[in-house]
Structure 1
């Protein structure tokens, strides 16, 4: 590729920041070949935007290297001089850059890459190291000028964060292996990567979620499990709540759970029906085949309103959600759907949407099966779905956080503090009028 005559001194100073360059070196991504994980994310970026090319780029002080390049001739040189690529602009600002018409946008129009790659429209999002430094970017390119919708932009933002999370997981694992142990601290880091750091506050809702290890003391072992949950705003005024559980433990469970989280987020910004979102996730599990492990998942897509929320619920082999009405009665919110596995064929009609409505004071409980499978060390009866429903009814009038605390107390009392599996729970409670 032609080298821009612009002097290196005009590049953003952040490009040459020693701490950033050290972070790039520590990532272990430079001078390595393409990898399926990053290619899968790039393909997903093309799927959600309809763009022609997608790249994950890592940049040091003088070159911009394509760690992933989808839609490009495989024989092409995988990278260019950093002065030729828009990547240095992401490093300089630490922010996304969207150029609907790259040929007229003063920020990018003079870069050689615009002509060499035939860039009509460009959207790039920074990829961040665990220490907060910009390593490079995830970008998509179209040959014609075009806008990117807010839903497409949000999907790309999510995928760029997924790349950053993948890098952080790898780095934590390398550090633990170098220390000669897979420590409990690493397991907690991996587990936390599957969960949002905090839940957003959806309008008119009191929300809470928790992930509790099998050890009632709160300690976690060296193995990470695949329980995950999420809550996020999607298209229009709609929101999505997600609960998932990957079979087994360890890094394979992490890979599947991570794929599930970012696929669901991206698909939910494209489709309003949770059954379609789950079918899309199943297709990605088959196509990308990151592991043989299967998972169950439940997705609720809803819209807050003045008189509560209305929505659709779909399940892929997951325990049914429970609704606690304002009068204390509990209803089961079930939906048919097969579990998700790369080895099980599935069609769209294998997943079904179930409509629901929550009025002021009502609450929706999503959970993994760890709580229903809790029992004592003598292998007594399981806590079970019926006990869970009765325990939920007994929380009548409690807010979201107190509801979760009391459910866990009830399950712990039944099991004597012993649980066979980790547990994730989420409560969405409509604020009383």
Structure 2
């Protein structure tokens, strides 16, 4: 109390001199032996032969053993499990003799009730004044929480691995189903046409999604054959449904009226009436009719295009150019689009190549530029006079060379008159 009658602040910050004195007295009475015996970790001192000379109460509590049962009666390795004892004798003890100390080794002690307890063990050799080893001091830390964490982590890893394998299996089954569905939208085998050679190829950009490209070739009667190739809007199940509708509509329309303009007009009517409102659907397509002439060996081609890339004519004389198909809006967009028929004659050695825009819109080079129509024409010009199968094979190699630059499905169809066809 100050002279003014006010209480002075406590210089020790405790606010209570009696409490401070009691705490100080308790610290004086606390012994190192008591701290050793009740430490939160286990302590054990052994002779150099491993006989236990001293052990604290914490370790005895973990073991469930009395002090007189352990001190002078057991070796340190007797406290370990069979596996721990083997590891101690073959690895732990030799390293300890060489290094004089070893830290943080995971072992297991066996308890009186038969259970195991994971511990982290660190040992140090105490040397005498002459440098001779006298005893070994060992500290054991309770690793049950760590073991539980590791087991939980392992369980989660195993669950994640199992989930990954299930996902891979599900993805493989999905890809198989998608491949089967995709194949059902394409002709299984192209028919054989007297005096004509045909070849086709379908490149799937992603096995995880359905593409919208399609093609077909079928007989109209004993003298004429119809073919078509195209690409519907979108990807996935809806595109597959549109592809199916388009293929069967073209087939049915061709059998009713095989004129290319009439067939595309019928398809346009079906798509425009079916897909109106908030989900418009459309496609690009080329439809044509082949009429071989047995006397001359030539084949007359009449075709019409609905917004599709033009076909390429590869001539036996080495020339190569696009077959113009003027007009030809996307099929299904307008109620009454304008389609125009184009006509060409394939002589022996000539071929007609149809393709979808996945080929010309592939990204190439370091600047990821579009492959383009002119690059395709130049490439095809190098294969004029070749049979359709050779042309398709060369294009297959070209597509493979695009790598990840080819991010859209691509359909190819080549029709040609063999060079050795005689009138």
TM-score, length of structure 1 as denominator length: 0.54
Structure 2: where are the runs of 5+ without partners?
1-166
- Counterparts of 2:171 and 2:384, CA distance in 1: 49
Corresponding residue for 2:409?
422
Pair 1:377–1:225, CA change in 2 (3 A): farther
Pair 1:329–1:411, CA change in 2 (3 A): farther
Give the CA RMSD over aligned residues: 2.2
Residue 221 of structure 1 deviates from its aligned partner by 2.1
1:361 to 349, 355, 378: 349
Q: Structure 1 residue runs of 4+, over 6 Å off?
A: 179-182
- Counterparts of 2:240 and 2:336, CA distance in 1: 23
3-state SS, counterpart of residue 248 of structure 2 = helix
Corresponding residue for 1:383?
371
Q: 2:314, 2:384 within 8 Å by CA — same for their partners in 1?
A: yes
> 1:96-136 CA deviation, whole Å, 9 max, x = no partner?
xxxxxxxxxxxxxxxxxxxxxxxxxxxxxxxxxxxxxxxxx
3-state SS, counterpart of residue 406 of structure 1 = helix
Corresponding residue for 1:373?
361
> 1:62-82 CA deviation, whole Å, 9 max, x = no partner?
xxxxxxxxxxxxxxxxxxxxx
Residue 213 of structure 1 deviates from its aligned partner by 1.8
Q: Does 2:174 correspond to 1:183?
A: yes
Count of residue pairs the alignment pairs up: 247
Residue 373 of structure 1 deviates from its aligned partner by 0.8
> 1:204-249 CA deviation, whole Å, 9 max, x = no partner?
11110010122xxxxx422101100000011451111110101221
3-state SS, counterpart of residue 371 of structure 1 = helix
Corresponding residue for 1:87?
none
Corresponding residue for 2:284?
296
Corresponding residue for 1:29?
none
Q: Does 2:393 correspond to 1:405?
A: yes
- Counterparts of 1:282 and 1:305, CA distance in 2: 31
- Counterparts of 2:226 and 2:241, CA distance in 1: 22
- Counterparts of 2:211 and 2:224, CA distance in 1: 30
Corresponding residue for 2:306?
316
Structural mapping, 1:44-55, within 5 Å = none
Q: Does 2:200 correspond to 1:209?
A: yes
Q: 2:349, 2:386 within 8 Å by CA — same for their partners in 1?
A: no
Structure 1: where are the runs of 5+ without partners?
1-175, 215-219
TM-score, length of structure 2 as denominator length: 0.55
Corresponding residue for 1:241?
227
2:329 to 323, 338, 341: 338
Residue 395 of structure 1 deviates from its aligned partner by 1.2
Q: 2:304, 2:340 within 8 Å by CA — same for their partners in 1?
A: yes
1:268 to 254, 258, 275: 254
